[in-house]
Amino acid sequence: MTTPGEQLLRAQPCSPASNGSWLTEVARAAGRDVGGQPVELLGDYLTLLADAATTARKPDRSELDAVGLLGRRAAELGVSAGSAVQLYLSAARRVWAELPLVIRERDNRAVRAAADAVLFVVDTAVANLVEGYTDARRQMARWEETQRREFIDDLLRGDADVGRLVERAEPFGLDMARPHQVALAAPSGGPDDVHVAISAVEHAVVQRVGDRDVLVATKDGWIVVVAPADGPIAEPARRAAQPALGEFLRAELDRCRRGKPWRVAVGRPYPGSYGIPRSYEEAREGLTMATRLHLPMPVIHSEHLLIYRVLLRDQPAIVDLVQSVLGSLTRARGGAQPLLATLDAYFTSGAVTTAAARRLHLSVRAVTYRLNRVKTLTGYNPTDPTQRFTIHAAVLGAKLLGWPDQEPRA
């Protein structure tokens, strides 16, 4: 009785027509060896192996390019690179197992030529398979990243088609019907800090709540986290007055070796597709206000800044207040900034002169002199409780508007 390999050797010339049924069975067996992977990924690879073993023919460039296309197909089907390579190696082993008895009857030169041809086919075919697979995965990753970036931009902007946005949210696991809140994390360093930290943040968030209904991305040099308000991250909020998302992110960012200190701002939770951009705007506004106001807290919750939002809601009125109450400070020697800083420290310290002096690293006498100077220039006495609110509101408005460095516009 002859083996399929012997029959193949006696069929001259070797062609797919003469060995198709045998190679089909080899392909099926190789597919079973690696867990039932699709044998279509082998293409003409088995024929190349059989030709190499029987005639020592090496494949040409077009045949190897065809193997590269099979690598791309493997990526499109979701087959791992390791499984695809194992499929090819298993097929080579099975093809060679049918041939040794006949090949050993040849002279040494013919055996070496056949072995060299087979190894060449395996080496080059696997290399082209992996190259095609890697190229396809790289293109797929770029496409997915583009789709993700566009989706995040549309989601946070809030002006996209709602129906289409809901459809696009499904692959990312977002249930737009649930209430969500957005947290923004801003580093003290450059953009490199964001790139270093985002992987750690994403891993921590996924570990805690899973990869569904959570989105972690970067935008405008910040880390953006979209999380369900009724999920595991928010559970502590039911037992405490503060939402837990900001504190959770801050704790994770503190573990990063670079980018300290971080500041986190959290918007309030809202339901629906318009709830996410609304929460994002609150968080973004919170970061901006905290920077302008030099707020010391590392985690800013939007509800803590409602009074500042009220001040900015009627910008013409706050501009008028700043210019009317504080405008005359620009006539002081050294400009308005030193007196404005004194007022800010005084109000921040609870209207306690000694505490303000320590904060400013000045003597109590110097602070008292500056407060009297403010009274002389503006006509408002910051130590008078009946006038304190007006001048304090003007100071906050000046910080929000960037005055006196920037000229406010109504």
CA angle 205–231–191, rounded 5-degree value: 30
**Same-domain status, 19 and 83:** yes
Note down the domain range covering 80.
4-138
Instruction: Decide which of 248, 282, 305 is a domain's last residue.
Output: 305
**Same-domain status, 14 and 134:** yes
**Same-domain status, 39 and 68:** yes
Q: If you write DSSP's letter for every residue of 159-183 in order, what string do you get?
A: -S-HHHHHHHHGGGT--TTS-EEEE
Q: Tell me whether residue 147 is in a domain.
A: no
**Same-domain status, 41 and 128:** yes
Q: Using an 8 Å Cβ cutoff, are 340 and 378 in contact?
A: no
- Express the helix, strand and coil content of the chain in percent, nearest 5 each: 65, 5, 25
Instruction: Decide which of 257, 276, 305 is a domain's last residue.
Output: 305
Q: Tell me whether residue 91 is in a domain.
A: yes
Alpha-helical regions (H) of 158-259? 162-169, 191-209, 245-254
Contacts of 200 (CB under 8 A, 6+ apart): 252, 255, 256
**Same-domain status, 297 and 368:** no
Residue written as tokens 């500056």?
370
Helix (H) or strand (E) holding 134: helix 108-157
**Same-domain status, 233 and 300:** yes
**Same-domain status, 183 and 133:** no
The CA distances from residue 266 to 290, 384, 401, in Å, are 12, 36, 22
pLDDT digits (tens), the chain, 410 positions = 444 444 444 443 333 334 457 788 888 999 999 888 899 999 999 989 888 888 888 888 999 899 999 999 999 999 999 999 999 999 998 888 776 555 555 667 777 888 888 899 999 999 999 999 999 999 998 888 888 888 888 889 887 777 888 888 888 888 888 899 999 998 876 666 777 788 888 888 888 777 777 888 888 889 999 988 876 555 544 444 444 788 888 888 888 755 568 889 999 999 888 899 999 999 999 888 888 887 888 899 888 888 788 877 788 888 999 999 999 999 998 899 999 999 999 998 999 999 999 999 999 999 999 999 999 999 999 999 889 999 999 998 898 888 988 876 65
CATH number, position 339: 1.10.10.2840
Distance, CA of 99 to CA of 76 (rounded, Å)? 34
The CA distances from residue 351 to 132, 347, 392, in Å, are 71, 5, 10
DSSP state letter for 267: P
Residue written as tokens 């070496």?
112
Q: Tell me whether residue 169 is in a domain.
A: no
pTM, rounded to two decimals: 0.64
Instruction: Decide which of 138, 167, 202 is a domain's last residue.
Output: 138
**Same-domain status, 181 and 291:** yes
Q: Tell me whether residue 345 is in a domain.
A: yes
**Same-domain status, 251 and 318:** no
**Same-domain status, 199 and 124:** no
Which one, of 228, 312, 206, lies nearest residue 272 by Cα?
228
Give the chain's domain count: 3
Sign of the Cα torsion 194, 198, 199, 201 reads: positive
Q: Measured in whole angstroms, how far is the alpha carbon of residue 379 from the centre of its chain?
A: 53
Q: Following CA atoms 90, 93, 95, 98 in sequence, which dihedral angle do they give, to the nearest 10 degrees?
A: -140
**Same-domain status, 184 and 285:** yes
**Same-domain status, 107 and 60:** yes
Q: Tell me whether residue 164 is in a domain.
A: no
